[in-house]
Structure 1
């Protein structure tokens, strides 16, 4: 059994709970089961396109919040600005993070928290998950998992209220995991970031040039 670090963060960061390697299977990017409705979104980045299936039926609050950011152009011109590496399990492992950061002209009001135990949308490889501080504070920042991260799912049996709630997963990358891995491999700046996040910020953030519904043609 190998237990990994617990990282506590604000809107700028996510938390990775202690996870057992033996309990962490590796999966391919997933598609929502056919019986559930999804809305497909394309993130056009400076390294290539990501196609995302938003779980608008199973995680309607979180997925529709993200879709509003897409439809209103609030993600256009934002960046993937951070990568976190985990040195255990299948490599590369960890997450990338992007979104509106603290831009007051982009962020919308925080949304209610949707537990994975309620939605069934889990933190698997390729999952999108909302960044937040306390549950119910998520706005327009999100992360993408490079490998399965079950420790981020809600755990009602945990003595810690944070882990009882977990993080809100709301969709999956269905095409473009090579782009996710390329972003994760980008160099970081050793002087950027604060506290234990120092060194996790990308030296040259990767731009999200446009976010659009998949049925909307590119400009």
Structure 2
């Protein structure tokens, strides 16, 4: 039966006098909760609280926590604000971290693609900056609006798009601070290549990062 025929048959179905029992809805399983670790990013413009996906992205989250625990982020900067020209502003990402400082960076880590972790570059997601897969160290970005084009695309024709970037956490408080930093003045002359026009004139300092306990009663 074509979809047109099915549509025309609807009035006949409604006229039928046969009592049809509505099938009982199957019980829904409770949504699974994954293990996370909470971290506060203290900047000179305010605090950003994030939950790191230690269960779903264990390698990437553990790497970030090592930087936190060894105080490798203290004194680093939020330095890049990428503004996308489509969609309602603000739209883009904010990038922060070690900027390849040899005194701070550790060895690169194995890449955890989003098609394996089940995570996505939605609004407030934290994602590792990298060159080739396996080179992520101590630089990360915070998504402003959904940027799911950065997710893994295993079937993409372009091999460079297949791995995507590694999401490892989400902002749970302080997106207003993220937006404020992202809106800071850009220096049009700073940077080279794709970074030109995306670097903050006065990068915002990360004063400290620290783990915090989550109040289970809330």
What TM-score, normalized by structure 2, do the two folds share? 0.82
Alignment match, 2:165:
167
Where do 1:44-193 residues align within 5 Å?
Answer: 44-193=42-191
Q: Which runs of structure 1 show a deviation greater than 2 angstroms over 4 or more consecutive aligned residues?
A: none
Aligned mates of 2:185, 2:32 — CA distance in 1: 38
Q: Which moved more, 1:207-216 or 1:53-62?
A: 207-216
The match for 1:202 is: 200
The secondary structure found in structure 1 opposite 2:162 is: helix
Rate the CA distance shift 1:46–1:34 in 2: closer, same or farther, 3 A. Answer: farther
Shift of 1:168: 0.3
Find the aligned partners of 2:213 and 2:36 in 1 and give their Cα distance: 13
Residue 34 of structure 1 deviates from its aligned partner by 5.2
Q: Residue in 2 aligned with 1:39?
A: 37
Give me the CA root mean square deviation.
Answer: 1.2
Query: Aligned pair count?
Result: 184
Counterparts of 1:67 and 1:34, CA distance in 2 = 23
Gaps of 5+ in 2: 1-30
Q: TM-score, normalised by structure 1?
A: 0.82
Secondary structure, aligned partner of 1:56 = coil
Give 1:195 shift: 2.0
What is the CA distance between 1:183 and its match in structure 2?
Answer: 0.6
Tell me the CA shift for residue 92 of structure 1: 0.4
User: 1:129-162: per-residue Cα shift (whole Å, max 9, x none)?
Assistant: 0000000100000000001011100011101222
Stretches of structure 1 lacking an aligned partner (at least 5 in a row): 1-32
Deviation at 1:196, TM superposition (A): 3.1
Q: Which has the larger radius of gyration?
A: 2
